[in-house]
Structure 1
Amino acid sequence: MSEPHIRLTGLGLVESPRWHDGRLYFSDWSVHEVIALDPDGRHEVVARVNSLPLCTAWRPDGRMVIVDSGRGLLLRLEPDGSLVPDADLTGLAGAWNDVVIDGRGNVYVNRLGFDMLAGAPFAPGYVTRVGPDGSARDVADGIAFPNGMAVTQDGSTLIVADSYGSRLMAYDIEADGGLSAGRVWADLGDGVPDGICVDAEDAVWYADVPNRRCVRVREGGETVQTVELDRGGFACALGGEHRSTLFVVAAEWRGMPEMVAPGSGRVLSIEVTVPGAGWP
């Protein structure tokens, strides 16, 4: 495995990397922008949403959706660059976070059970499924701090990073999009998983902020590979021409309320041997 290569620097709190249609998309939460990065280093802002968090996913028909956490909405990016409401989540209380959409179009959004930014008392969080009609219902609960999510390549399993629990949770995806059989997929010991992705061997890469690394684990918790970083790893995605490039977004974490050192955010890439699979 090669050493990390710096693709882009001078960013803020970077999150939600997604490989789509030949480009890496990610969010810079510090400036409320969704950015697309070409393999040759060119980049452009594709959307601006005044939201923290600010996460993205793609429907099977190629339309991007964006979690507008502040207003409790799912937004859809139209071909002309405009943003229109896709689903209203305001009927469910909590702080919205990550989103993933599987190959059947099941939309899963998770949320904290408390407002961390406002210093509210802790409460466990949820995973919510958004139906084709925009309706939202909780399909999993009791997750201490739901963070990154991914769906395995066969579409059968949703994996959720529980940052406070130092574990990866797994749920069977039912025919109607509901979730069942919640279980611990991997106990990570001192690991603090944030954004995650799945590869073709059904192993999971997770980014870790306090431990400054990105780690590949198998079901059960066996650590297979570790990429050491010089700053916190917030999320990762497998992409590139053959989905064998691990993209990591990282920044220098300074804690609340500042969060990250200004300009310390960057996009890194590492070539790996097992390509990506599943969603995102």
Structure 2
Amino acid sequence: MPMVEYIWPLGAALGEGPLWDARSATLWFTDIKKGRVHRLDPASGQRDTFELGGQPGFIVPSDDGGFVVGRGHELLRFDGTALDAEPLATVEMAAGNRLNDAVVDSAGRLWFGSMDDGETSPSGAVYLFDRGRLARAGGECVITNGPTVTGDGRYVYHVDTLGRTIWRFDISAGDELRDGSVFARIDPADGTPDGVTIDAEDHVWVGLWGGWQARRYAPDGSLVQTVELPCANVTKLAFGGADLKTAYVTTARIGLTPAELEAQPEAGGLFAFSVDVPGVPSGILALGGGR
């Protein structure tokens, strides 16, 4: 069991979407419910917080040197300090929905999901943004999480959080999430699956909401490693550092009772632990000049 380090006691309401930006050797992540994006420079220890407002679900690097943030119903450019007022794209979805989680694949395409913010209607879905073209890919459910993509670009892993299921879709023949197979199911006693990410061996790491842990699954769906965290709501991992062998973990305080918060004062903090198998570099979103 690796030693878990508590590295930023920021008390995020809903810490999510950690991203290692290799260009600047910094970690970025969101606090969806507080409308914030955070940045950590591990080398200097500098910590910065940017007030974006709304509900920023994810942040990804883009090929203009900046980032793209998914907030509300929109994809917005972010230069590292402020959002561009004009959206790159607006996603047509139910009024009560918002964008939630995302990944950029090695081809520079953005896979991202939406969810019902009230967490009751199966109106969430996975979308693909490819050089200005926006398309709905499938994966309909109440809360989408992930997605993540294998290094060869063949498989997309998509999480149906309330269904406690991680799905695998073969996209080698197209971009739609159809005829998927169950990769893993999470027992109700173990919490619910949140964000997923891939390492260099195409093993899938998932944070367990209400489960006090992160898990690593082999490509055949077998559980091969569990890492315990000191708080219940573990949301997602990102691999950083020069060798991509530091796992950074976001967590959340939202939904915990006062008694639970007293018992887990580190909830909402950022954690880190070392891994033997490195992660893979984040893809860089190809904007393609489109808005």
TM-score with structure 1 setting the length: 0.85
What's 1:17 paired with? 18
CA offset digits 1:214-250 (Å, max 9, x no partner): 1111234311111111212111111111111111112
Q: Using the alignment, how far apart are the partners of 2:210 and 2:83 within structure 1?
A: 37
Q: Using the alignment, how far apart are the partners of 2:146 and 2:229 within structure 1?
A: 19
Q: Which has the higher strand share?
A: 1
Task: Give unmatched runs, 5+ long, in structure 2.
Answer: 284-291
What's 1:244 paired with? 245
Q: 1:177–1:122: structure 2 CA closer, same or farther, 3 Å change rule?
A: closer
Q: 1:95–1:32: structure 2 CA closer, same or farther, 3 Å change rule?
A: closer
Q: 1:92–1:225: structure 2 CA closer, same or farther, 3 Å change rule?
A: same
Question: RMSD across aligned C-alpha pairs, in angstroms?
Answer: 2.7
Q: Using the alignment, how far apart are the partners of 1:79 and 1:236 within structure 2?
A: 21
Q: 1:3–1:79: structure 2 CA closer, same or farther, 3 Å change rule?
A: closer
Give the drift of 1:137: 2.1
Q: 1:277–1:123: structure 2 CA closer, same or farther, 3 Å change rule?
A: same
Q: Using the alignment, how far apart are the partners of 2:267 and 2:154 within structure 1?
A: 37
Contact residue 152 and residue 277 of structure 1 kept, 8 A: no
**2:143 aligned partner, one-letter code:** F
CA offset digits 1:165-190 (Å, max 9, x no partner): 21211222357644444221222334
**1:48 aligned partner, one-letter code:** E
Q: 1:217–1:9: structure 2 CA closer, same or farther, 3 Å change rule?
A: same
Q: Using the alignment, how far apart are the partners of 1:253 and 1:80 within structure 2?
A: 26
2:44 matches 1:38: no
2:44 matches 1:7: no
**2:47 aligned partner, one-letter code:** H
What's 1:254 paired with? 255
Give the drift of 1:90: 4.1
Q: 1:57–1:5: structure 2 CA closer, same or farther, 3 Å change rule?
A: same
CA offset digits 1:151-203 (Å, max 9, x no partner): 11112221112211212112223576444442212223344111121111111
Residues 175-184 or 102-111, more deviating: 175-184
**1:35 aligned partner, one-letter code:** H
Helix, strand or coil: the match of 1:219? coil
Contact residue 106 and residue 177 of structure 1 kept, 8 A: no
What's 1:197 paired with? 197
Give the drift of 1:101: 1.5
What's 1:49 paired with? 52
Q: Using the alignment, how far apart are the partners of 2:34 and 2:261 within structure 1?
A: 12
Give the drift of 1:11: 2.4
Contact residue 37 and residue 56 of structure 2 kept, 8 A: no
Q: 1:123–1:31: structure 2 CA closer, same or farther, 3 Å change rule?
A: closer
Task: Give unmatched runs, 5+ long, in structure 1.
Answer: none
